[in-house]
Amino acid sequence: MASSSDPWVREYSEASRLADDVTSMIADRGSLPQSGPEIMRHTSAIRRKITILGTRLDSLEALLSRIPPKSITDKELHKRQDMLSNLKSRAKQMATSFNMSNFANREDLLGQSKKAADDMSRVAGLDNQGIVSLQRQVMKEQDEGLEKLEETVLSTKHIALAVNEELTLHTRLIDDLDDHVDVTNSRLQRVQKRLAILNKRVKVFQRCGCSHLISVS
């Protein structure tokens, strides 16, 4: 395999370590209580890491598609494709086990810039050689723009999914708190009823005691 200084190799190593981390967290989840805030926070952390893993897989796929021709052998290219495919399958299984359906249906949101009028004005007055040079410059600008757009989309998608996971966790925590409040309120009502009964009995006892003292005197 290529050197660890290769961007794709570095990115793959980080993604692989992240997948191992998620696997370890899933194993630790079995030792936690089946309900309550602790396991909910742990589950949310797992889901966030799976989301980040999905972003890294997108980055790996983009890097692989931009590798210059003949910079690596066909054998190495196929090897990387297999490695990426296996890691994707592993991540998809993790996501499926946590009902993360949006993980399997990711779509890249890439658009095209609208600069037709500006491009026409740049072509005006150029000879053939100038047009060829301009075309190369435009293609380079478009490639750079697409790369930046891709990075922005992936980052935004990751943030949006992470926020969604946090909102889901907070909703569950609030629901769990509501359940505890209902139980506590029910218990408090029962205690209040018992205190009321006890208070009546004390008053009856006090009246009986006073009457007994009067009759004795």
All domains of the chain, ordered by start, with CATH? 1-112 (1.20.58)
CA distance 68 to 152: 23
**Higher pLDDT pick, 56 / 121:** 56
User: Which of 8-22, 99-113, 132-146 is the least confident region?
Assistant: 99-113
Check residue 117 and give its pLDDT: 45
- pLDDT tens digits along 124-144: 555 667 666 766 776 677 667
Contact 40, 167 (CB under 8 A): no
3-state SS of 202-217 is HHHHHHHHHHHHHHHC
% of the chain residues with pLDDT over 70:
73
Check residue 37 and give its pLDDT: 82
Contacts of residue 50, Cβ cutoff 8 Å, sequence gap at least 6:
22, 91, 94, 95, 98, 100, 103
% of the chain residues with pLDDT over 90:
14
**Higher pLDDT pick, 213 / 186:** 186
Give residue for tokens 């006890």.
198
CA 44, 47, 50 angle in degrees (round to 5)? 155
Contact 147, 108 (CB under 8 A): no
pLDDT score of 112 more than 50: no
How many DSSP H helices and E strands does the chain contain?
6, 0
